[in-house]
């Protein structure tokens, strides 16, 4: 009941709580019990969570906590070196700064961003794109040089740091690029020896457990370290001086004749070691921006071509080996043509009656075909197979190709005839060079090796020693007056070999483009090296192998034998060829 009462002239309203309908209502008993139960459940959940975190799930949370401060760093192993046969460095790893940033901490105004982009060798847009990536870490420039880092460091930009990595260095540059190859930014082999021996060169990285702060700085070491195991060195058979000289000579020949490309292979006749393998065009393996496929191609191993006249000595050797002819046997090549099943084969210049030795000296197609047509196709095929045609070279190097040699059962008479002078099959320059070790080694052939050998190696017999020595003497006539490659003669050393000139095949026909090459042996009296030279598409009017590739052969032979300490075997005198192009009368 609400009433009023007066007090000091004022009335005061009073409330009777006992009779208020709202306040007089009783609270249900289950509500208080529910509240107590909820409080108890909350305590139980908190207790369960504490038990889980502190006892049952302790390992998980410990690891999560450690992730915030403990890190395992990889101790990078130093990649092994690539050495030449004399221990000179062809490839090695050197420390290099790699620049990185924490984008969320990076602070720079427009001018500073442009200056940073210039220092890093990129556009401001490229820099902005990189910084827009992972907010915690981005690479700005891997394997930069010290000068670049000094410029960046001098800017004092917040959020930009550097770490030392290894960068591959190639002292011989473009001269040995196709042999040594290169690695990627992670130092994994991509080409050449770097790819073939990647596992041996890599080594094994070590491990280091550390505590790092939020900026990535190491505070302290924790636990034991696993030391890095550096990669082992790989020593090649290559002689870097011979390699550099061979590269220079083929480069100059390509420029002189306006050619598309060129290659040189130098083999040690005693061991089969590759002393030089050079190609032009080439590239600097340490600076590989904007490379073309033409620069990367290791043409001496990957490009195949019809070997042309370089096959003639093998046909003549087989004819002598089987008693069909002797070096003095006369073959009538008049009138300079021969017709086989309706197809005419011709010499570039008619020669009339020639001895077998003169057939090789003059490079007569007709004379070679007349010897070949006395044989069974199987006989020629067996010799061609024995010298490595149609087989992938067994060499410690990626990319070597097989070439082509069709089964003899499919040969038609005209095909047997053209194969006798090098048309209808294909081989690489390395395969041709290896084939001529037969004549340098008195009849046996050896495998080629990119790695240094300890001494002479055993070969596989192809011809009798007397046959090989007789043919070697015939090959010596090729570089003497009256031969097809007098420009291949070397001052102070007797040389012999065979030039080749072949039209390039495009589609089903032949073009007016040529490949010119020469492969030979020196010294003839006691062979030490085999040198093969190829120039692709000479375009300045001279295209015969003896005139284009012969001079390169001569220069490489003289330089290589002097470096090897081989004494001259003929009187040292000036050798002058008035017109090398005129001296070459090769059939192709």
Model confidence at 461: pLDDT above 70: yes
Model confidence at 30: pLDDT above 60: yes
309 is annotated as an active-site residue: yes
- Of 62-76, 349-363, 483-497, 550-564, the poorest mean pLDDT is in 62-76
Residue 398 vs residues 81, 103, 178, 287: alpha-carbon distances, Å: 19, 42, 11, 22
Model confidence at 16: pLDDT above 90: no
Half-sphere exposure (CA, 13 Å, Cβ side) for 284?
7
pLDDT given for residue 582 in this prediction: 43
Among the listed residues 98, 240, 309, 420, the single catalytic one is 309
Model confidence at 63: pLDDT above 90: no
Q: Is 72 left (phi over 0), alpha (psi -120 to 50) or beta?
A: beta
Closest residue by Cα to residue 256 from 531, 532, 506, 580 = 580
Which tokens hold the place of 232?
């082992």
Model confidence at 496: pLDDT above 60: yes
Q: Residue 74 — pLDDT band, cuts 50, 70, 90?
A: low
Closest residue by Cα to residue 101 from 89, 110, 113, 93 = 113
pTM of the entire predicted model: 0.81
The dotted CATH code for 74-103+110-130+137-235 is 3.90.1310.10
Burial class (CB in 10 A: 0-12, 13-18, 19+), 261: buried
- Of 28-32, 374-378, 519-523, the poorest mean pLDDT is in 28-32
pLDDT given for residue 43 in this prediction: 87
DSSP symbols for 44-90: HHHHHHHHIIIIITHHHHHHHHHHTTEEEEEEPPPPPPEE-TTS-EE
Instruction: Please give the average per-residue pLDDT across 348-355, as a whole number.
Output: 91
Which H or E run includes 533?
strand 529-536
Which tokens hold the place of 312?
């003639």
Burial class (CB in 10 A: 0-12, 13-18, 19+), 503: middle
Rounded distance, CA 246 to CA 579, Å? Answer: 24
Domain residue ranges in the chain = 74-103+110-130+137-235, 240-564
Cβ 310 vs Cβ 517: under 8 Å:
yes
DSSP symbols for 310-352: GGHHHHHHHHHHTTS--TT-EEE-TTSEEEETTEEEE-SS---
Beta bridge partners of residue 404, listed in sequence order: 426
pLDDT in tens, 546-568: 999 999 999 999 999 999 999 99
pLDDT in tens, 168-197: 999 999 999 999 999 998 889 999 999 999
pLDDT in tens, 401-425: 999 999 999 999 999 999 999 999 9
Strands 234-235 and 82-83, how do they pair? parallel
Beta bridge partners of residue 154, listed in sequence order: none
pLDDT in tens, 353-407: 999 999 999 999 999 999 999 999 999 999 999 999 999 998 989 989 999 999 9
Rounded distance, CA 438 to CA 419, Å? Answer: 19
Q: Residue 2 — pLDDT band, cuts 50, 70, 90?
A: very low
Class of the CATH domain delimited by 240-564? alpha beta
Neighbours of 85 (CB within 10 A): 19
Strands 160-169 and 206-212, how do they pair? unpaired
Model confidence at 214: pLDDT above 80: no
Model confidence at 3: pLDDT above 60: no
Contact residues for 180 (Cβ-Cβ < 8 A; gap 6+): 82, 90, 91, 170, 172, 192, 193, 194, 285
């Amino acid at each position: 009941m609400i009433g009023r009462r007066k007090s000091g002239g004022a009335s005061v309203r009073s409330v009777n709580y006992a009779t208020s309908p709202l306040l007089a209502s009783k609270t249900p008993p289950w509500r208080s019990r529910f509240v107590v139960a909820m409080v108890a459940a909350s305590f139980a959940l908190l207790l369960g969570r504490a038990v889980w975190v502190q006892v049952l799930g302790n390992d998980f949370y410990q690891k999560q906590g450690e992730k915030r401060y403990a890190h395992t760093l990889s101790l990078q192993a130093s990649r092994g070196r690539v050495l030449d046969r004399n221990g000179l460095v062809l490839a090695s790893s050197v420390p290099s700064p790699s620049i990185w940033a924490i984008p969320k901490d990076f602070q720079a105004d427009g001018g500073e961003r442009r200056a940073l982009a210039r220092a890093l060798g990129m556009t401001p847009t490229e820099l902005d794109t990189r910084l827009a990536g992972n907010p915690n870490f981005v690479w700005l420039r891997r394997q930069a040089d010290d000068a670049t880092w000094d410029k960046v460091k001098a800017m004092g930009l917040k959020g930009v740091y550097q770490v030392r990595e290894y960068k591959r260095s190639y002292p011989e540059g473009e001269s040995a690029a196709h042999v040594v190859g290169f690695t990627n930014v992670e130092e994994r082999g991509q080409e050449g020896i770097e790819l073939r021996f990647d596992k041996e060169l890599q080594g094994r990285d070590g491990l280091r457990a550390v505590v790092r702060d939020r900026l990535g700085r190491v505070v302290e070491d924790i636990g034991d370290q696993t030391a890095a195991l550096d990669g082992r060195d790989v020593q090649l058979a290559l002689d870097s001086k011979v390699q550099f000289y061979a590269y220079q000579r083929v480069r100059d020949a390509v420029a002189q004749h306006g050619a598309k490309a060129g290659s040189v292979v130098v083999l040690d006749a005693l061991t089969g070691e590759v002393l030089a393998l050079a190609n032009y065009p080439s590239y600097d393996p340490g600076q590989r921006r904007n490379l073309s496929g033409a620069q990367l191609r290791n043409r001496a191993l990957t490009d195949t071509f019809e070997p042309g006249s370089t096959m003639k000595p093998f046909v003549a050797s087989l004819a002598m080996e089987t008693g069909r002819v002797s070096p003095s046997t006369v073959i009538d090549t008049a009138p300079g043509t021969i017709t086989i099943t309706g197809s005419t084969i011709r010499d570039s210049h008619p020669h009339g009656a020639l001895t077998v030795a003169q057939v090789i000296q003059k490079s007569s197609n007709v004379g070679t075909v007349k010897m070949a047509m006395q044989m069974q196709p199987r006989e020629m095929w067996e010799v061609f197979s024995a010298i490595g045609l149609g087989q992938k070279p067994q060499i410690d190097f990626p990319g070597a190709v097989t070439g082509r040699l069709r089964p003899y059962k499919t040969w038609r008479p005209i095909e047997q005839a053209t194969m006798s002078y090098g048309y209808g099959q294909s081989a690489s320059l390395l395969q041709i060079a290896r084939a001529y070790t037969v004549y340098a080694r008195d009849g046996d052939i050896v495998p080629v090796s990119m790695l240094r050998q300890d001494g002479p190696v055993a070969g596989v017999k192809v011809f009798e020693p007397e046959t090989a020595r007789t043919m070697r003497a015939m090959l010596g006539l090729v570089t003497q007056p009256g031969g097809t490659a007098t420009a291949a003669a070397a001052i102070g050393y007797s040389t012999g070999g065979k030039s080749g000139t072949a039209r390039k095949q495009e589609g089903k026909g032949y073009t007016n483009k040529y490949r010119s090459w020469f492969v030979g042996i020196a010294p003839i009296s006691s062979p030490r090296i085999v040198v093969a030279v190829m120039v692709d598409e000479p375009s300045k009017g001279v295209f015969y192998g003896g005139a284009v590739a012969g001079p390169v052969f001569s220069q490489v032979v003289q330089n290589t034998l002097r470096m090897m300490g081989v004494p001259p075997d003929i009187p040292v005198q000036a050798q002058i060829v008035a017109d090398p192009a005129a001296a070459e009368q090769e059939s192709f």
